[in-house]
Amino acid sequence: MGKAFGSEPLGKTLYNGKRPRRRREWRGLRDTWYDYTRWLYYLFILGKFMMKPNNFKGFFRYRWMSNYLAVPDFMDRHTEGLRGTALRLAHEGIGLIIIDMTISLTDIFKADPEIGNDTELSKKMVVFDENMMSTLMGGFRNLKWVCYEVPAIYTSSFMCQDGVMHYVDKTQEYGVPGDVCPMPAAELGAALEDDLPKIGVCAIQCNTTCDGSLMGGGLMARSMGIPTFQLASPIRHRQESVQDYAADEIYNAIKFIEEQTGEKYDWDYLFENMDRFNQETKEFLEWLEINKSPYPQLLGATLGFYRYGEYMAAGGRSPIFLETSKKITALATKAYQNKEMACKEYRHRAILWGVQAAYYTAFPNWLMNCWGIVPINDMLCCVSTEMVSTTDKRQALLDLGYLYENMIMRSRSNGGYETGVEDLFRICEQMNVDMVIMYVHIGCKSMAGYHGLFEEEARKRGIHWIWVSHNLMVPLDGTRRDMRTEVNRYMRTILKEEPVDPSLEDFDDSLCW
Amino acid sequence: MKDLKHLYYFEKLLEESYNDLCRKGQEDGNIAIGHVCFQIPEPLLNLPGCFSTRLRAPRTGSIEMGTYYMSSTLCEACRAYLERAIEGGFNFLDCILAPDACAQMNRCVENIEHQNLINKETFFVTYADVPMKSDETALKHYVKQMRIRVLEPLNEHFGIDISDQALRMAVKEQNEISRLISAIGDYRKLECPKITGYEFAVFCLASYVCPKYLIKDKLKETLEELKTREPDPADKYRIRAVMVGSEIDDPEFIKLAEECGALIVADRFCFGSLPGRQEIELTEDEDALTQICRTYLQWGKCPRFFNQEKVMERREYVDYLAKEYQADGLIYEQIKFCDYWGYERAAAFHIMDEEYGYPVLSVDRPYAVRSSGQLRTRIQAFVERVEMKKLAAKKNGRAE
């Protein structure tokens, strides 16, 4: 029990087979105090959020809102075992996402005809698809980007492991097969259940991650009741020949929004936002450089969550993200210079490839704490790091087109062997890793198609390859414990290793949030 | 009905991927192009000096190797094709020109390529990015992709003539086949159809997997034969149905449905004739490639087209077919694990029933269906349901 990493057996002290944790983690006086004050801050943010009448009504109107009761636990899960800078980086990064989410939900409920009924606000809102970048909205000074599928489904599932299973069930009752990806299935389920707000003046849908996502969006358009534009981003996005089409589609989407809202696209405003976006990208590249070293700092869930929020949702429009990014860089650089660790032992450096389980986003923390496997980079963070032009309109369209082709997940699930397989091993070499944790998302057809090729390539290069099965938002199909067992088996039977923290090897968290 | 003269011949052809006519096509000096999706217009693959054959895996047994490489949650058709490639069944191909239309078929082709399964030295694969919408922006992109991913590689690798004139010749040949297939298919519209869904599926499928110039004569003879063929009585089949859905590259599935009493009068599925076997109309005021691509964009009924106009068009088209072919019900089918048709089928089950008034059977199925008792039971139950409905309607009509 103390300030050192791994000073207490987390499996025994935190988990008791029930929903709440046995007690808070003791991290030494300084870190515990910091962590506790941050934890109180989140409670304060949530309390403040609930004090607003619209939000209070929204809480009782939408079933998925109950998942947000687990926000404090969510933070505890993603800071488990962390100390010092690693703890602070997690709070800086993930904490901002929580604050951003409350702002977004406040706007949604205010505009919702069943709650705040602010029709003027609703008329300024453009609804975007799930997993779709908001970046092109950077040129509409007076419009609001909104994506209600994110708080309703995507982050809901992060907060509470079985939080969206009800919606998946509804989609299956409707007749959609159980083998499709649960994310679009849950979104469709929420639409079928009339559990999504009817807001916005128009909507942009996109062929984001996969075939299932595209189809779910198509059906959802029926229930939106507003004009929708389908932005078709090219699939073979590494081919030079598709870039003009990508840019043209961005242009068509902009024209559509202009027609529906009467707003004019403000290129200067876009360039201003893209300049910020570019600076954020530069900060991100710094973090990757640090992670290539023997003292990586921004790891696992911290890196993943923050990058998602910054790259996909904020899209350069929010100054606070750049400020936070700079703060993160400063913290990480200092920690690197001081040769600080993020867990007790660094035994293996790993890339997490495939899609993470939304119901177990704290899995990377477990990898570090239990086995000393350091998640150096995550497939979802391996997105475009190209700069967007801030001077030339056509070039900016081409750059935006490329960004949309390289949205999180899509950049790897689309594009073929080159992006899904070849790039992985190139990144392994760059990041100096010896292990790949390969998520087998049961409903994801894109990565599953490379199953044999992955194994053959890993074998050729002598990289440890651990398959970890899950079903994204349906924990029943592959529980958190099942996921851990797959790693445990490999570590024990193939590598003959003993865990860093044996109490974490097997414990029951099936009832936890 | 008396057996059609050439039915057995075509059935035998369909028993192999590398059938006798593909062999003959190559002996005649043509290049064999592997084709995996409707999204690459057939005339581009059937230019003078080459022919296309759409990949399929007839008489599939175990697909264990395909499953290892692509996992057990992917489309069985794709796994079966990969298995067939591993077995060497596609070694005759000179190239595969594939679109990246669905992730699963793309992975299948990528596995074929990266495992070096086809041992010809000159063999190559290209992947075209094909649009998911059908507007002018998409058309421009489509034309560009077809030029650089299909035509130019054919010219560079094999010296195939890709001129406008050559394209027009290919269209002319395809139109000839399409006219024959459509004329044969029109006999399904009759009250007592002169051809069954199964028989038609055999002829139509052959037109996708054999060099077209080698089947022309037999199709012509079949058409002549149909003119005088004595049909079965109207009550031989209990209902008439439109088959809608994903790939059916084995007519046995149609046979199974017909054995259960559902005559398949229209084939709105991949490998079917609706659409795909209509004539491509070319004018002189625009280049042939653009016109061909525009036609295929308009024809495209795959659920991957996700703009709302196309979504509506798909339903309207099925409604049109059901009326035109006097169908009593719709069978929506998909090969298990197909994301596109998984959603499309589920939605159609509700929409085509509630908004268009058709009884709908919605089924997912394995790739090889021959011995599926489960499917048989589902179709039988559907036939009974539709039959009861017809009887009730008749009774009500009489009472009124």
Walk across the sheet containing A435-441 and list its strands: A373-378, A348-353, A435-441, A464-470
- pLDDT score of A211 more than 90: no
Q: Is residue A1 part of a domain?
A: no
Q: What percent of chain A has pLDDT over 90?
A: 85
Which of A228, A424, A451, A459 should we substitute to test contact with B (largest number of B Cβ atoms within 10 Å)?
A451
Under an 8 A CB cutoff, do A445 and B100 touch? no
Per-state percent for chain A, helix, strand, coil, to nearest 5 = 60, 10, 35
CA separation for the pair A119, A113 (Å, rounded): 7
- pLDDT score of A500 more than 80: yes
- Taking the alpha carbons of A47, A49, A55, A60 in that order, is the dihedral positive or negative? negative
- pLDDT score of B20 more than 70: yes
CATH for the B167-399 domain, from 3.40.50.720, 3.40.1190.10, 1.20.210.10, 3.40.50.11900: 3.40.50.11900
Give the pLDDT confidence of B89-126 residue by residue, as tens digits: 999 999 999 999 899 999 999 999 999 999 899 999 99
CA separation for the pair A455, A502 (Å, rounded): 29
Whether the CB-CB separation of A477 and B73 falls below 8 Å is answered with: no
d(CA A445, nearest CA chain B) in Å: 6
- A-chain residues near B337 (CB < 8 A): 177, 179, 445
Out of B68, B132, B140, name the one closest to residue A452 (CB): B68
Under an 8 A CB cutoff, do A452 and B344 touch? no
- A-chain residues near B108 (CB < 8 A): 449
Q: Which amino acid is at B323?
A: K
CA separation for the pair B185, B195 (Å, rounded): 8
Under an 8 A CB cutoff, do B140 and A245 touch? yes
Angle at B161 between CA B156 and CA B164, to 5 degrees: 120
CA A511 → CA A17, A160, A279, A502, distances in Å?
A: 7, 10, 42, 21
B15-153, what's its fold?
Answer: Rossmann fold (3.40.50)
Question: Tokens 């059938």 — which residue?
Answer: B19
Q: How would you class A3 by CB atoms within 10 Å of its CB: exposed for 0-12, middle for 13-18, buried for 19 or more?
A: middle
Under an 8 A CB cutoff, do B73 and A442 touch? yes
Question: Tokens 């404090």 — which residue?
Answer: A72
Q: How many CA atoms lie within 13 A of B117 on its CB side?
A: 25
Nearest to B24 by CA among B53, B1, B56, B60: B53
CA separation for the pair A15, A509 (Å, rounded): 7
CA B263 → CA A418, B298, B316, B335, distances in Å?
A: 46, 28, 21, 20
- pLDDT score of A155 more than 80: yes
- B-chain residues near A417 (CB < 8 A): 110, 113-114
Q: Is residue A510 part of a domain?
A: no
Q: Is residue A431 part of a domain?
A: yes
CA separation for the pair A399, A413 (Å, rounded): 20
- A-chain residues near B129 (CB < 8 A): 234-236, 239, 241-242, 245
Under an 8 A CB cutoff, do B70 and A417 touch? no
- Asked if the C-beta of B308 comes within 8 angstroms of chain A's C-beta atoms, the answer is yes
Helix spans in A293-443 (H): 300-307, 319-337, 363-366, 393-405, 410-413, 417, 423-430
pLDDT recorded at residue A220: 86
What confidence tier does B399 reach under pLDDT thresholds 50, 70, 90?
Answer: low
CA separation for the pair B177, B173 (Å, rounded): 7
Whether the CB-CB separation of A230 and A216 falls below 8 Å is answered with: no
d(CA A369, nearest CA chain B) in Å: 31
Backbone angles phi and psi of A63, in degrees to 5: -55, -40
Under an 8 A CB cutoff, do B107 and A445 touch? yes
- Asked if the C-beta of B362 comes within 8 angstroms of chain A's C-beta atoms, the answer is yes
Under an 8 A CB cutoff, do B306 and A230 touch? yes
Residues of chain B with CATH 3.40.50.11890: 15-153
Residue of B nearest to A250 (CA): B137
- pLDDT score of B398 more than 80: no
Between helix A84-111 and helix A71-78 the angle, nearest 10°, is: 150
Whether the CB-CB separation of A241 and B148 falls below 8 Å is answered with: yes
CA B157 → CA A68, B46, B90, B126, distances in Å?
A: 59, 15, 19, 12
- B-chain residues near A242 (CB < 8 A): 129, 141, 145
Q: Record the tokens describing residue B134, joined without a space.
A: 């059908």
- A-chain residues near B345 (CB < 8 A): 175
Under an 8 A CB cutoff, do B104 and A440 touch? no
- Asked if the C-beta of B125 comes within 8 angstroms of chain A's C-beta atoms, the answer is no
pLDDT recorded at residue A512: 92
Whether the CB-CB separation of B361 and B342 falls below 8 Å is answered with: no
pLDDT recorded at residue B371: 73
What confidence tier does A214 reach under pLDDT thresholds 50, 70, 90?
Answer: confident
Under an 8 A CB cutoff, do A445 and B104 touch? yes
User: What's the rounded mean pLDDT across residues B10-23?
Assistant: 96
Q: What percent of chain B has pLDDT over 90?
A: 93
d(CA B297, nearest CA chain A) in Å: 14
Helix spans in chain B (H): 7-13, 20-27, 42-45, 64-70, 76-86, 103-114, 136-146, 152-158, 164-186, 197-209, 216-227, 252-259, 288-299, 308-324, 339-354, 373-399
Q: Is residue A374 part of a domain?
A: yes
- B218-226: Cβ within 8 A, 24+ apart: B218/B6, B218/B9, B218/B10, B219/B177, B219/B180, B219/B181, B219/B184, B220/B180, B221/B5, B221/B6, B222/B4, B222/B5, B222/B6, B222/B184, B223/B180, B223/B183, B223/B184, B225/B4, B225/B5, B226/B4, B226/B184, B226/B187, B226/B194, B226/B195
Out of B68, B110, B306, name the one closest to residue A416 (CB): B110
Under an 8 A CB cutoff, do A215 and B303 touch? yes
Q: Is residue A157 part of a domain?
A: yes
From chain B residues 20-79, the ones with a CB under 8 A of any chain A CB are 68-71, 73-75, 78
Q: Record the tokens describing residue B397, joined without a space.
A: 């009509």
Out of B75, B127, B344, name the one closest to residue A236 (CB): B127
CA separation for the pair A232, A207 (Å, rounded): 6
State the CB neighbour count (10 A cutoff) for residue A459: 10
CA A41 → CA A323, A487, B42, B304, B358, distances in Å?
A: 19, 35, 63, 46, 58
- pLDDT score of A443 more than 90: no
What confidence tier does A3 reach under pLDDT thresholds 50, 70, 90?
Answer: confident
Interface size, chain A vs chain B, as Cβ–Cβ contacts under 8 Å: 157
Q: Which amino acid is at A493?
A: T
Give the pLDDT confidence of B144-197 residue by residue, as tens digits: 999 999 999 999 999 999 999 999 999 999 999 999 999 999 999 999 999 999
Whether the CB-CB separation of A158 and A101 falls below 8 Å is answered with: no
User: What's the rounded mean pLDDT across residues B226-235?
Assistant: 92
* Domains in chain A, number: 1
User: What's the rounded mean pLDDT across residues A31-49?
Assistant: 94
Query: Do you find a cis peptide bond into B275, omega within 30 degrees of 0?
Result: yes
Under an 8 A CB cutoff, do B132 and A416 touch? no
- pLDDT score of A141 more than 90: yes
- A-chain residues near B150 (CB < 8 A): none
pLDDT recorded at residue B400: 58
Q: Please, what is the average pLDDT of chain A?
A: 94
- pLDDT score of A130 more than 90: no
- B-chain residues near A236 (CB < 8 A): 100, 127-129
What confidence tier does A24 reach under pLDDT thresholds 50, 70, 90?
Answer: confident
- pLDDT score of B397 more than 80: no
d(CA A225, nearest CA chain B) in Å: 13
pLDDT recorded at residue A265: 97
- Which stretch of DSSP H or E encloses residue B264? strand B262-269
What confidence tier does A57 reach under pLDDT thresholds 50, 70, 90?
Answer: very high
A327: domain range? 10-504
Question: Tokens 């870190």 — which residue?
Answer: A31
- A-chain residues near B350 (CB < 8 A): 174-175
- B-chain residues near A219 (CB < 8 A): 343, 347
What confidence tier does A4 reach under pLDDT thresholds 50, 70, 90?
Answer: confident
Q: Collapsing DSSP states into helix, strand and coil, what is residue B127?
A: strand
Q: Please, what is the average pLDDT of chain B?
A: 95
What confidence tier does B208 reach under pLDDT thresholds 50, 70, 90?
Answer: very high
Under an 8 A CB cutoff, do A443 and B141 touch? no
Assembly ipTM: 0.93
User: What's the rounded mean pLDDT across residues A76-90?
Assistant: 94
Angle at B167 between CA B165 and CA B171, to 5 degrees: 115
CA separation for the pair A418, A211 (Å, rounded): 19
User: What's the rounded mean pLDDT across residues A61-88?
Assistant: 94
Under an 8 A CB cutoff, do A214 and B350 touch? no
d(CA A424, nearest CA chain B) in Å: 16
Alpha-carbon Rg for chain B, nearest whole angstrom, is 21
Backbone angles phi and psi of A435, in degrees to 5: -145, 145
Under an 8 A CB cutoff, do A215 and B104 touch? no
Q: Collapsing DSSP states into helix, strand and coil, what is residue B48?
A: coil
User: Residue A435: CB partners within 8 Å, gap ≥ 6?
Assistant: A348, A349, A350, A351, A373, A463, A464, A465, A466
Q: How would you class A477 by CB atoms within 10 Å of its CB: exposed for 0-12, middle for 13-18, buried for 19 or more?
A: middle
- B-chain residues near A249 (CB < 8 A): 137
User: What's the rounded mean pLDDT across residues B339-359?
Assistant: 95
pLDDT recorded at residue A218: 82
Q: Is residue A511 part of a domain?
A: no
What confidence tier does B394 reach under pLDDT thresholds 50, 70, 90?
Answer: confident
What confidence tier does A1 reach under pLDDT thresholds 50, 70, 90?
Answer: low
Give the pLDDT confidence of A243-253 residue by residue, as tens digits: 999 999 999 99
Q: DSSP strand E in A75-223: where? A: 125-128, 144-146, 202-206
